[in-house]
């Protein structure tokens, strides 16, 4: 199945139905789509995680730097290369059944900006594998309600 563009005007839950936080996760995904459209004029498109296991493996490999293993099932993924002031950035996203979204921001032309971001859908508890390691800040989103997020800076080369 080809990648499907994510509409941030009419939010769809397609591909996320097995999540107990379907609506909130769909809003979170739409929030990311709006960000990429506004910041980079890029259409954010996702695919089933089962069709792109190498993206799930890449994110898992980066998380291993902090000894983090996500227990939840990956539902959807995307990856894009964007042109920015700091050079080319590889963005990789995995949306999990638990309501968690993880993104890896990885600059390709220099090591100045490299980080992993965690976002929790509204109503979702902090996963046990992250609870002891990170504090989550809150932000409001028209599409996703309240998003809680955290991050860490990547030290390794991926």
Residue 158 lies in a domain: no
CA 3 – CA 113 distance, rounded (Å): 27
**Which range is most confident: 48-57, 102-111, 133-142?**
48-57
Instruction: Report which of 82, 18, 83, 23 is spatially closest to residue 50, judged by C-alpha positions.
Output: 18
117-153 CB burial, b ≥16 within 10 A, e <16: bbbbbbebebbebbeeebeeeeeebebbeebbbbbbe
pTM summary value: 0.94
CA atoms in the 13 A half-sphere facing the CB of 119: 26
Per-residue pLDDT band at 146 (split at 50, 70, 90)? confident
Per-residue pLDDT band at 140 (split at 50, 70, 90)? confident
CA 28 – CA 147 distance, rounded (Å): 8
Task: Please state, for a pLDDT cut of 90, what percent of the chain lies above it.
Answer: 80
- Residue range(s) defining the domain that contains residue 120: 4-8+15-153
- Helix (H) / strand (E) element for 29: namely helix 22-40
Q: Is the pLDDT of residue 111 over 90?
A: no
Domain count, the chain: 1
CA atoms in the 13 A half-sphere facing the CB of 55: 24
Q: What is the pLDDT, as a whole number, of residue 51?
A: 96
The string of pLDDT tens digits covering residues 2-40 is: 689 999 989 999 999 999 999 999 999 999 999 999 999
Residue pair 49/91 in contact by the 8 Å Cβ criterion:
no
The pLDDT of 119-125, averaged and rounded, is 90
Residue 93 lies in a domain: yes
Lowest mean pLDDT across 41-50, 116-125, 137-146: 137-146
Q: What is the pLDDT, as a whole number, of residue 36?
A: 96
Q: What is the pLDDT, as a whole number, of residue 1?
A: 60
């Amino acid at each position: 199945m080809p990648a499907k563009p994510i509409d941030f005007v009419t939010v769809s839950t397609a591909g996320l139905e097995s999540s107990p936080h379907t609506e909130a996760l769909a809003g979170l995904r739409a929030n990311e789509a709006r960000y990429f459209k506004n910041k980079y004029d890029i259409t954010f498109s996702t695919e089933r995680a089962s069709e792109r296991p190498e993206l799930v493996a890449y994110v898992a490999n980066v998380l291993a730097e902090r000894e983090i293993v996500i227990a939840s099932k990956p539902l959807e993924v995307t990856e894009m290369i964007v042109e920015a002031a700091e050079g080319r950035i590889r963005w990789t996203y995995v949306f999990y059944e638990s309501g968690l979204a993880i993104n890896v921001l990885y600059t390709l032309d220099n090591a100045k900006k490299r980080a992993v971001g965690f976002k929790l859908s509204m109503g979702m508890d902090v996963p046990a594998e992250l609870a002891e390691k990170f504090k989550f800040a809150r932000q409001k989103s028209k599409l996703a309600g309240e998003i809680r997020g955290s991050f860490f800076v990547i030290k390794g080369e991926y």
